[in-house]
Each structure stands twice: as structure tokens, then as C-alpha cells.
Amino acid sequence: MELMRDLEGQTHRRAASLDGAAISSEDRTMEFSFSSEYPVQRYYGNEVLSHERDSVDLGRLSDGAPLLFNHDPSRVIGVVQRAWIDGEKKRGMVSVKFSRNAFAQEVMTDVADGVLRNVSVGYSIVQMEQRGDNFVATSWQPYEVSVVGIPADPTIGIGRKLDTDGAAPAATPTPTPSPTPMEDNLNIEAVRAEAAAQAANAERTRIASINALTERHGLKDLGTTLIENGRSIDEARAAVLDKISAKPVETVKPVEMDQRDATRFNITAGIRAALSGDWSSYEAGLVREMSAEVQKSMGRAPSAERAFFIPFSALTRATYVTSGTTTGGNLVQTDLLDQDFIEFLRNRSVMLAAGVRTMPGLQGNVAIPRRSGVASTYHLSSQVTAITQSESTFDQVTLSPKNLAALSKYSRQTLLQATPGIENLVRTDIIDGINVAMDLGILNGSGASGQPLGIMGTSGIGSVAIGTNGGAITMNALVDLETELTIDNVPVDRSSVSYITNAKVMGNLKKLRAGGSTTTDGPFLVNDNLVAIGRGGTPSVVNGYPIYVTNQVPSNLTKGTSSGVCSAVVIGDYSQAMLGLWGNGLEITVGEDSDDFSKALTSVRGIVTYDVAVRDPKAFAAVLDVTTT
């Protein structure tokens, strides 16, 4: 029967009188009955607690259950020493001992003086069956006993009620109903059945909703507790949020290097040692020692025999051979000045400088709870206006591992002869290559083909359009981007909010003047006076906010008839974006394929694992149709 299944597992209370009980003043003990088989009227019919020995589970009560005052778990006044069933009188009995604390002694004195004369028991129904007009709990479990100040109802002998808040006082006495004239055709059984069906349906909905919520977050035990304590689904949501908020993101302690070791750390020495198996040199030994530290912190070994870890604190593709000037030959010493080494020009990495948060040392998948909606409030038109129920909603921001790799090849002779050399080259190539790729992932990752989903692709960020076919950048467009943040209540100030765009847009911006023209109409809009906003090292300022320039921002977008010539400008509080890094370092693997062997080449692969997440999409806005040529 659906009704009985809904009632099973709920928490109940009942009150009874202490009449005839006596306290032993020497050891502060007392025996009294706490339950009987007296039928009590419920909304679904008469409830009866069976007192057959096999029907009552006294395990929790006998195992040192608390003696409380008014069912308040923070006011323990004693302990249950023993519980048993009086089979002849069909009553539940307990022997309790009062505590020595001052409040417990006051309660014991009031009980002895007859001022407090009532007790109440908290219990849960495990199984129930219908017998005629009665609903009999054939399996139930008491779990606490309380001294209460509200007397039992004299018309029924025992007062009891369904507990809906887990710590409420004993049931208010039910007054004797006065006779009420009723129509001859009123069907009492039909009314009772309808009320019972409505109540059972509401209870089924509550239980199912709480179970679904807690099982989704792996908190089944919490769900059971919430259901037993009669909590609402809104209370359950708050409890789940508190639970998952309290669980810290699982990370490992970072591996740090002192200045001397960082200066001496030599990746090339590690590569040579991995090839030869000889780790006896100081440089190779340092690499091996730091790799072991990273391995210990991460709890796993490198993925291949000839592989090692380098910590993020020590970080730094094309085949490099000495026979060709462009592939390694120019590195061989001929009075070469390594300080004048000319590096390849890459896109600039700006995302971390703009304020993106980093979370290193991650281990498993990461889920961060987020309140996605809040309860609504209403003005009431009259004193009897019903309040419309609304609830907060919650979701999660997640990060899961994405792998980013770089591969370099170099010759044995290059390894032996290079002067600034292959060490600086490999270190710089790997570090810069990975940094630029991660920077692009943060800003504009596609979310496909192993890439993270970047800020520009995140659903829910603000949007500003210049025109049907795009248009030139204007100050109005930059202000509109700022407005997209402020209308969503994003706190904006020059210490946290920045613009990011590419060199083409920046070139056009620098030509704009306050009056709107590009000739002589007022001062230029782009301000290079860094002191003016108190942020040294910022390249430029526009509309009161720093503006970063990198060609990671696309310039090949399409809007209407403007095909492949549109650029983007993004504004945001970049601290609302997160860069998660798994483990404590980059894994370097040294290997040779068949082609490498025949050409005396060595392959070096570097892999780092990361992901990107946006805490609040409303903290960002973008314009994607700035025409640039």
C-alpha cells in the first residue's frame, strides 16, 4: 500500500505520563514506561504501535541512548541504561540515569516534585500494515527519550505527532472537538481518504526529490537523514550545498626549488641520463631528485622507463641538428653570445597577467558548487495573501583533465656541442609553446578535440554587436561591453577588470581621439600613462581599464558580408576564470623511433595536464564583429 510505504521510515514522537514513577536519590536513576498500544488518531486513521517483542527494535535505545529535555539534542540530561518490553502490560519501559550537570539536576528535582510529569519518545516506523480501521506499526524503533513540559492529552491518554523539524517540542494537546452539524450526505470516509491521498502524494514527492538530489551528489546517507528528519526539498538543497562546499578540492603539495637549484636545473642533463642510464653527474642527479619529489607528491611513476618529471617551478619542437644552420648548426659554439640568442616571435601570453586564477596540484575531477538562482521575494497585497513558494537552485563548475603535449627532436652532436644551447632552446621551446597553447585554451578553447572550453565559447557571457556586417571599433562599443557587466551586477573596478584584444584592433584604437575622429579632434583615447590608474606594467588603458594585446584573439571572424576580417574584444573580471593544473610538474619522455635511430636523432616529448573553467559567465562580455584589415 502506497500510504504505508510513505509512512515507513518517517520520524515520530509520542508523550506519556510519569505518574507512579519514582527517582532513586542515591544513584539518580528512574524507571518508567514510554509507550503503549493505545490507538491515536492520525490524518490517515488510527495508529497503533505493536508491543510484541519481535515488533520493537530496542537496539538504539539500549545502546546508551540520550535522555533529553524537550527533544533538544543540545540539552542532554541523562542516559538510557536499559530498555525492555513489558509483555503483560504491553508497554515500553526504560531505566534512565540523570546527569550530574546543573540543569539535569534541576529537571530531576522538578520530576521528583511532580512539576514535570511527562515523557516523550522519538521513534521511526520500519513497517506498517492495516488491520481494520487501525494502521499497526509491526516493526518500529525508538531512538531517544525526553522529559517534556507538555502533558499528555487526557482524552486519549497519550499525545504524539509526526516530527517535521527534527528537534521540535512534544505535541500540543489535541482539544476535544465540539460537535459540528454536518450535512446528511457528507461522506467522512471519502474526505479522510482524499486527505490521506493528498498527504501521501506530497510525502512521496518530497522523498523522491531528496533521494534524487542526494544520490546525484553521492550523499545517500545524508538523504536518509534528511528524509527521516522531515526536511523539505529546499532545506535538502541547502544541506547538500553546505556538504559539497565543505569538501576541499583535492590537491597535492607543490614541489618548490630554491634559487640555487633552480639556476642549476638542467633539462638536457636529464635527457642525456635518460638515454645513457648514467645519472651520476651533479646536474643529472638534481633532475632525478626533483623528479622523485614530484613522483612522491603525485603518487605515481612516470609513464615510461626513460621518462622523468620536472616541477612547474623549474619549467621551460622542429628537429635540431648541427649540420644545418636553421636546425641546430647555429647553436654550435663559434664564439657564440648566448645572451644575444634570437628567439622565435610567438603570440603573447596574457591571461595569467590579466588575473586568471591557477589551481595547481589537482588530482581527481573537480566539481565546485555554484548557486545558479535565488529564491524570489514578494510584496503581499493583503494580510491573507498566499506566499508563492520559490527556491534557490544550484549547479556545479567542473574541471576534468585535458592533455597538452610538445615534441622536439635533436641530434646527438647537437646535444654534445650546443652552447647557449640546446638546454635553453628545449627549455624555452617547451615552456613558451605550452604557455601559449594554455593561454589560447583559457581565452578561446573550443571544448572539442581535447581542448578545454575557453571564455569566449562559454555559454552565458555578455555580447555586444557593432552592426549587421560588423564595423570599426568605437569608444561606444567599449563602453557597451562594460555595461554588459554592470547590468548583471558584476563588480567592476580597474584592479580586476580588463579588456583583451589583438594588435589590429589596438592599432585602430590608438588612432581614435575623444571627439571621435582620427585626426585632431581632442586627445587620444588610449592612455599610456600607467601611473594614472596605479597599475605599473600595464601596457595601455582605455575607458579607465587596462587593455592587454595578444594575437591569440582571433582576427578572422565573419559577420554578415564581412567574411574573415572581423576581430574580437573581450572584457571581464578574469579572476572569475580558473586554470587547473593536475599534478606537480611536466612529464618529459625521451625516445627514439625507427627514423630517429637511423638519423641519430632523439625525440623529447613534454606533456602537461590542465583544464579551464569559468566561475560566472556574466563576469565576461565580448564583441566579435570589429572589422580589421
Over residues 318-350, the pLDDT tens digits come to: 333 334 444 444 444 434 344 443 444 456 678
Handedness of CA 333, 334, 339, 343 (dihedral sign): negative
Residue 471 has pLDDT above 90, yes or no: yes
- Measured over the CA atoms of residue 580, residue 586, residue 589 and residue 595, the dihedral's sign is positive
Give me 496's grid cell: 580586476
Residue 5's contacts (CB-CB under 8 Å, 6 or more residues apart) are none
Exposed, middle or buried by CB within 10 Å (0-12, 13-18, 19+), for 533? middle
The model carries a pTM of 0.51
Say what percent of the chain tops pLDDT 90: 14
Lowest mean pLDDT segment, chosen from 142-146, 192-196, 602-606: 192-196
CB under 8 Å, gap of 24 or more: what pairs does 173-178 form? 174/41
Domain boundaries, given as residue ranges, for the chain: 2-162, 188-246, 259-342+356-362+401-442+586-611, 462-579+615-627
Provide the pLDDT for residue 73: 83
pLDDT tens-place string over residues 156-205: 223 333 333 333 333 334 344 444 444 444 456 666 677 777 777 778 88
Report the pLDDT averaged over residues 615-623.
92
Q: Which is more confidently placed, 310 or 424?
A: 310
Residue 147 has pLDDT above 70, yes or no: yes
Quote the mean pLDDT of the chain: 75
Say if residue 515 is preceded by a cis peptide, omega within 30 of 0: no
Pairwise pLDDT comparison (93 vs 426), residue with the higher score: 93
Lowest mean pLDDT among 28-32, 284-288, 300-304, 539-543: 539-543
Which pLDDT belongs to residue 516?
58
3 state SS of 436: helix
Q: Strands of 511-618 (E only): list them.
A: 540-542, 545-549, 557-559, 562-573, 577-582, 585-591, 601-614
Position 189 scores a pLDDT of 67
> ∠460-618-362 over CA atoms, to 5°?
90
Decide which of 369 and 58 is more confident: 58
| Structure confidence at residue 456 (pLDDT) | 94
Please give the pLDDT value at position 526. Answer: 76
pLDDT of residue 10: 54
DSSP state of 197: H
Lowest mean pLDDT among 117-126, 169-178, 434-443, 575-584: 169-178
Distance CA 149, CA 171 (A): 10
Q: What pLDDT score was predicted for residue 235?
A: 80
C-alpha cell at 623: 564583441
pLDDT at 340: 43
Q: Domain 462-579+615-627, CATH 3.30.460 — does that match?
A: no
pLDDT in tens, 224-277: 888 888 888 878 877 777 676 555 555 556 677 776 777 778 887 888 788 778
- Of 278-282, 385-389, 548-552, least confident by mean pLDDT is 385-389
